[in-house]
Amino acid sequence: MFIKKLARLIVALNSNVSRGQLAAGMATGVLLALVPSGNLLWIALFFISFMTKANYGMTMLVMGVGKLLVPLLARPIDGLGAWLLRMTSLRGLFERLYDLPVLPLTRFNNTLVMGGLAIGALLWLPLFFAMRALIHAYRENLAPKIAGSKLVKAFFKIPLAQKLADAVSTASRLARAFE
C-alpha cells in the first residue's frame, strides 16, 4: 500500500502533472498542517482543498509530515495568534464574529488556530511560487541525472525496487489512460 502511494508521488513529480497543481498541493498541505485540526475552520479548509486542482497526494503527504513538525513551532504560532487576538483594532471584529451562530465552532479565538491560519495564509503564495520553481528545476536538471546514475541503476536490480518500478510504471500508465 505504502509503495503504491510512494509510486504515485514519484509519478506525479516526474509526469505531466502540472507544476502548479503540485505546488498548490504542497502549499495547501503546509496551511493544513499549521492550523490545528478538530475545529470547523480546519474541516472547511480541508474540504475546500478538494474543490481545487491541487494535487491531493502531495497535500496529504506535506500535511502529514507538517503535522509532525508543527509542534516544534508551537510557541511562535501561539505568540502570533495571541498578538493578533489582542490587537485593539481587531477586537470589535472578533467580538462580532464570535456572536455569529456557527463561527465560534471554527475556534478562531484560539491562539494556535489564529496563529496557524495567519502564518499559513501568509506563506501560501510564496510557498506556491517557490515550490513551482523547485519542481521545474528538479524536472529539468535533477531528474535526468538521477535516472541515469549508476546508483539508481544498481538500486533497480533489487527485487523490492523492481516492484516499486513496476508500481510506478502501472500508475503512470493509469494516469495517462485517465487524462
DSSP state of 36: P
What is this structure's pTM? 0.77
Domain ranges across the chain = 15-141
pLDDT at 15: 64
- Assess contact for 37 and 47: CB atoms under 8 A: no
- Per-residue pLDDT of 62-91, as tens digits, reads 999 999 999 999 999 999 999 999 999 999
Return d(Cα 80, Cα 62) in angstroms, integer. Answer: 23
Runs of H (alpha helix) within the chain: 2-14, 19-34, 40-49, 56-69, 74-86, 88-99, 111-137, 143-148, 150-155, 159-177
Please answer whether residues 49 and 59 qualify as being in contact, where contact means their C-beta atoms are separated by less than 8 angstroms.
yes
Model confidence band, residue 2 (pLDDT cutoffs 50, 70, 90): low
Say if CB 57 and CB 6 are below 8 A apart. no
Highest-scoring range by mean pLDDT, 61-70, 132-141, 154-163: 61-70
How many residues appear in the chain?
179
